[in-house]
Homo-oligomer: A and B are copies of this chain.
C-alpha cells in the first residue's frame, strides 16, 4: 500500500454539513482523524470531527494553517472558491483533484466534457444574454429548463420553460448569472451510480440506485434500481470512463436518466452523494468509507451489496414522523444534528432495510 497515509493521520475536510459529518465518522472507523474547515459554528460535522477551523474561505492565514495541520484535503461540496483551492493546494494534496472540481463547478464545462467523452447528455445551449436566450430557445425549444451554470443545488437556480413564452421570465430568474438552457429529456426514471476510484487507479461501483425527486430535492433512493443487466453494465462502464478521464481519486455521484434511447448523463458530483446514503446499511464498506479509503490511499471495498435498501430523506417537517420511524422495524435512522428544522432542509435520512440482496 504505497502512498497510504499512516493510521492516525488527519484528513482535512472542506465543508461542515452532513456529508462532512458522515465522512468524519467513516474516517474514524478506519483510525483516521478529521479536521473540518467551515465558517459556520455548531455545524453537523463539528460534532464528530477532531478539529474545526471556523474560518472564512477568504482567510488566507487560516487556510494555510488548516492545510498544514492536515495530511490530505478533501471536500463535501464542489463550489469551493478557486482562490482558496490555490492556497490549499500549495501545501497539501487535494483529492479528488482540481480538474474534477473545475468541470463540475460549471454546467457548460461539465456537459461539454461529457460529450467529448462520447457520453450522451441533454441538448444544451449557453445563455449569457437576452440574445443568447433567443437563439437557445430557437435551438433547444420547449419544454426545457434554464439553469444557472454555477452554484445550483437541490433545484435552486432553475426555471422551467413550458413554452417559448416563458423565456423572458426564466431569464429574469437567473438574475444575470450565466446559464444553460437544457432540452427536455423523455426519461422513464432516474438512477445514479456511486463510483469510486482509488489512488492506484482501481475503480469500484456500488449498485445503481433509483432516485425519486420532489420539488428538485431527492426524496428516495431504491436499490436495486429498475435496470436491465445491460443497462447496469452501461451505467458502470460510463461512470468508470468519467473517473478514468479525470484521473479521479475518491467517490463520485453520477446521475443518469433512463430513456428508450439509452442512458443520458444528467450531472456529476465530485463527492459523496445523497443517493449513496443507502450504502450505510446495505454494504460492508459504505460510500463515506469508500471515499476515505480512496483519499488516504487504502484499497477500495468492492461495492458488494448484502441487502436491498430504500433510502428516504427526512426533509423539514418529515421530522414530525421521527417518533414513528424510530419504532419502525428495519428502519435505520441517521440524523444530522441540525439545530433548526426548516422547510426544504435535509435533517436526516432513513435506510429501510429490505432484506437480502436479490
Contacting chain B: which of A120-128, A174-182, A207-215, A299-307?
A299-307
Q: A31-B337, A47-B33, A48-B24 are in contact. Are A355 and B306 (CB under 8 A)?
A: yes
CB-CB under 8 A from A31, the residues of chain B are: 335-338, 348
Interface size classification for chain A: 35 or more
| A107 interface residue (CB < 8 Å to B) | no
Complex CA–CA separation, A7 to B341 (angstroms): 11
Complex CA–CA separation, A337 to B30 (angstroms): 8
Most chain B CB atoms below 10 A, which of A25, A29, A298, A338: A29
Segment 256-298 of A: residues with Cβ below 8 Å from B: 281, 284-285, 293, 298
CB-CB under 8 A from A47, the residues of chain B are: 28, 33-34, 50
Q: A298-B326, A326-B299, A332-B285 are in contact. Are A307 and B307 (CB under 8 A)?
A: yes
CB-CB under 8 A from A327, the residues of chain B are: 299
Chain A 31-61, CB-CB to B under 8 Å as 1, else 0, gives 1111000000000001110100000000000
Asked whether, in the complex, the Cβ of B299 is within 8 Å of the Cβ of A333, the reply is no
Asked whether, in the complex, the Cβ of B30 is within 8 Å of the Cβ of A306, the reply is no
Most chain B CB atoms below 10 A, which of A8, A34, A326, A334: A326
Question: Of B50, B298, B348, B356, which one neighbours A356 at CB under 8 angstroms?
Answer: B356
Closest chain B residue to A307, Cβ basis = B306
Q: Which residues of A contact B (CB under 8 A)?
A: 1, 7-8, 21, 24-25, 28-34, 46-48, 50, 281, 284-285, 293, 298-299, 302, 304, 306-307, 323, 326-327, 329-339, 348, 351, 353, 355-356
Known: A29-B334, A46-B50, A302-B329. 12 other contacts (CB 8 A): A7-B335, A8-B337, A25-B25, A25-B28, A28-B337, A31-B337, A47-B50, A284-B329, A284-B353, A306-B330, A306-B355, A307-B307
